[in-house]
Amino acid sequence: MISTITKIKKNALSLFVEKGYTATSLSDIAGRVGIKKQSIYSHFKNKEELFLEIMSEVVREEIAFLNDYFDQYNSKPLDDVLYNFIIQMEKRFTSNKEDNVKFLLRMMFTPPSALQEIIITTALEYYSELEKHIEQVFIYHEESITATAEEAKIAYLAIFDGLLVELVYVNVTNFQKRFQVTWEIYWRGIKS
């Protein structure tokens, strides 16, 4: 049986993705869970505390995803590791069953102004972990690329960031088109 606190966080996460932080009220969350608004206060001091707890959990879960992904793909060919990572992000962003990636990306790109500093700090924990993994992949495969591991990492992350903007602000079709063109040029430029 799922606990009330888990239901609150799950439904709040979905609402924050759908409506944003500002437009989501505790009454909205309580309505989705099927409880009274006052019941939320027995678990959380206010909406901000609930939001920040969700943000921390999402970042921890996404770091765990990074660790699992890169552990699984570490010995695979470089282009498979990098290409499939972007594909996984797209699939997870567009999945109806997955809110973590949508939440994390939207909050990284458009954090609520009142919580901006803490959200950016928390999100940078994720991004720092991502950078470490990407760098390790390039170090492992450095003999097969024309750039240094550092240069290849920086260029890859610049492409990755741009593609995420496509997902968040434009649409999947544009993302896919830009990804295919960008990937072909990037890969030709770094492979030896």
pLDDT mean over 35-48: 95
CATH number of the domain at 10, please: 1.10.10.60
Q: Measured between alpha carbons, how far is 16 from 103 in angstroms, rounded to an integer? A: 7
Residue 135: predicted pLDDT: 95
Residue 97: predicted pLDDT: 84
Residue 192: predicted pLDDT: 74
Which amino acid is residue 62, in one-letter code? Answer: E
Q: Measured between alpha carbons, how far is 136 from 69 in angstroms, rounded to an integer? A: 13
Which amino acid is residue 140, in one-letter code? Answer: Y
If one counts the domains in the chain, the total is 2
Same domain, 40 and 99: no
Residue 105: predicted pLDDT: 93
Same domain, 104 and 131: yes
The C-alpha angle 39, 122, 132, rounded to 5 degrees, equals 140
Q: Measured between alpha carbons, how far is 137 from 169 in angstroms, rounded to an integer? A: 29
Same domain, 65 and 39: no
Residue 126 belongs to what domain range?
A: 55-190
Whether 146 and 46 have beta carbons less than 8 Å apart is answered as no
Categorize the per-residue pLDDT at 2 as very low, low, confident or very high, splitting at 50, 70 and 90.
confident
Which tens digit of pLDDT belongs to each residue from 121-173?
A: 999 999 999 999 999 999 999 999 999 999 999 999 999 999 999 999 989 99
Residue 16 lies in a domain: yes
Higher pLDDT: 1 or 101? It is: 101
Which tens digit of pLDDT belongs to each residue from 16-27?
A: 999 999 999 999
CATH number of the domain at 167, please: 1.10.357.10
What SS3 class is residue 48?
helix
The upper half-sphere exposure of residue 121, i.e. CA atoms within 13 Å in the direction of its Cβ, equals 5
Token look-up 């939001």 returns 51
Residue 25 lies in a domain: yes
Same domain, 36 and 83: no
pLDDT mean over 90-108: 92
Residue 96: predicted pLDDT: 84
Which tens digit of pLDDT belongs to each residue from 48-90?
A: 999 999 999 999 999 999 999 999 876 789 999 999 999 999 9
